[in-house]
Amino acid sequence: MKFKPNQTRTYDGEGFKKRAACLCFRNEQEDEVLLVSSSRHPDQWIVPGGGMEPEEEPCGAAVREVYEEAGVKGKLGRLLGVFEQNQDRKHRTYVYVLTVTETLEAWEDSVNIGRKREWFTVEEAIKVLQCHKPVHAEYLKRLRLACSPTNGNALVPSRPDDNRSLYVTTQGPALPPSRR
């Protein structure tokens, strides 16, 4: 199990734990995503991410978490959305897209806790995540929906024109995304 003795949990003004994560893709086609084994349940897969440190920006936290948990570096892309989880613990997670450019042989969590990583197609990843971490599956569903040619969008802009973040709330079954 992962243990960080000096970790300070940070919360926003509404009492949500501030988190950041990245959907790490093998290339810009975004058809293969990297998942890591859970520190609590090593036989289950998750999207790399974790808590933000005080004074840390969401994009910096996302890149740091991916480096620690997955042992990869890359080109940080767009903010996919801000996902809220209200079930057992209140989390607000900033989820970015990252194209992997470097993969380390050994990295912090592989050495310290034996964490593994594996590439999955987006469809496989959604299935794998749906049981253990349904909110993580929602990240990929949002990606697929946002880039679907049927909705008229080829790409999602890096920053929304109105500078508002896209929030997706999960409370059991997935709810449709809403803008705040």
| 64-79 residue pLDDT tens | 999 999 999 999 999 9
pLDDT of residue 153: 37
Average pLDDT over residues 153-164: 35
pLDDT over 90 percentage in the chain: 64
Of the listed ranges 4-18, 27-41, 86-100, the least confidently predicted one is 4-18
Inform me whether the pLDDT recorded for 55 exceeds 60.
yes
Active site residue 108: no
In sequence order, the β-bridge partners of residue 94 are 20, 82
Indicate which residue of 65, 68, 84, 138 is catalytic: 68
Residue 174: band (very low, low, confident or very high) from pLDDT cuts 50, 70, 90: very low
Span 76-105, average pLDDT: 92
Task: Quote the pLDDT of residue 160.
Answer: 36
Cβ–Cβ < 8 Å for 160, 80: no
Is the predicted pLDDT of residue 110 greater than 70, yes or no? Answer: yes
Winning range, highest mean pLDDT, from 6-10, 52-56, 82-86: 52-56
Q: Residue 171: its pLDDT value, please?
A: 38
What's the Cα-to-Cα distance from 16 to each of 64, 90, 163, rounded to whole Å?
Answer: 20, 5, 21
| pLDDT score recorded for residue 45 | 97
Q: Which residues, 6 or more positions from 121, have their beta carbon under 8 angstroms from its beta carbon?
A: 31, 32, 33
Alpha-carbon span 25 to 42, nearest angstrom: 22
Tokens of 146: 């946002």
Whether 146 shows a pLDDT value over 50: the answer reads: yes
Q: State the pTM of this model.
A: 0.79
Q: How do beta strands 45-46 and 32-37 pair? A: antiparallel
